[in-house]
Amino acid sequence: MKPTTIFQLVRVLMLALPLLCVGCTGFGTKKELHSIQVGDNRYKLVFWHPWGDNFSDCYLYQCNRDGLECKKITSYEGNCRSYENSQLEVNPNSNEINVFIDDDGTDGLSLDFTYGEQPRMYHDKVQFADYDYYLAYFHDFDMPGTPFRYMLYRCDKKSTDCSRLPFRYDGDGLPTGWLELDEQSGEINIVIAKVLIYTYGSSPKCHVEGCSLSDE
């Protein structure tokens, strides 16, 4: 093999190394599930199952157009129970990347993560009228000690075109959170760690300190 050819092969392997590592240690099964081109970037959804572990993870990578120089999106660590059921979709209005996975094996694909100007994962969803409402949060998992920022989003029925509603709450960890819908009034309560944090409706209201009527 010519020296030039060897150099080119080594360079390709070095560029692909971040994707092969998938931010993990040890041995296991790695599989690229989907990729999608948006502008000058290619996004890849990667499945990782460590040998001997009961859990499987999904990671999202942002790569160059050739799909070689990649970096992990550090605000996403998905729990992939079944890598056969997953999907990447782009919102044509905002160019946000939406990750759909089968989170419990019963209800089909669910919106798990959105990457864009405001990256976010999702805690819970309720349906009302013609919209889906999501309790979302943002956290950089590569920076321990940073807060979890909770938000509320309203999406179309396909859960691809979403807009943020005026709510923000910063927490120190990731306790259980959910949405409670009053179908008669149309109000939606946000409950985090069994504490009523916020009510969305005709007159949005915060119930605790640290909650704000903000979309920033």
- 122 lies in which domain range? 118-216
**69 domain-assigned:** no
Question: Residue 70: is its pLDDT beyond 90?
Answer: yes
Place 14 in a pLDDT band, splitting at 50, 70 and 90.
very low
Question: Does residue 108 lie within any of the structural domains?
Answer: no
What mean pLDDT do residues 41-57 have?
81
3-state percent breakdown (helix, strand, coil) of the chain, nearest 5:
10, 50, 40
Domain tally, the chain: 1
Q: Is 173 within the bounds of a domain?
A: yes
| Interatomic CA distance for residues 101 and 164, integer angstroms | 22
Q: Report pTM.
A: 0.79
Picking from 82, 151, 159, 89, the residue whose alpha carbon sits closest to that of residue 118 is: 151
The verdict on residue 127 lying in a domain is yes
CA proximity to 47, closest of 101, 96, 98, 123? 101
Mean pLDDT, the chain, as a whole number?
A: 82
For position 92, what pLDDT does the model report? Answer: 82
Residue 124 domain-assigned (yes or no): yes
The C-alpha angle 188, 193, 198, rounded to 5 degrees, equals 30
Please state the φ and ψ torsions of residue 132, each to the nearest 5 degrees. Answer: -110, 135
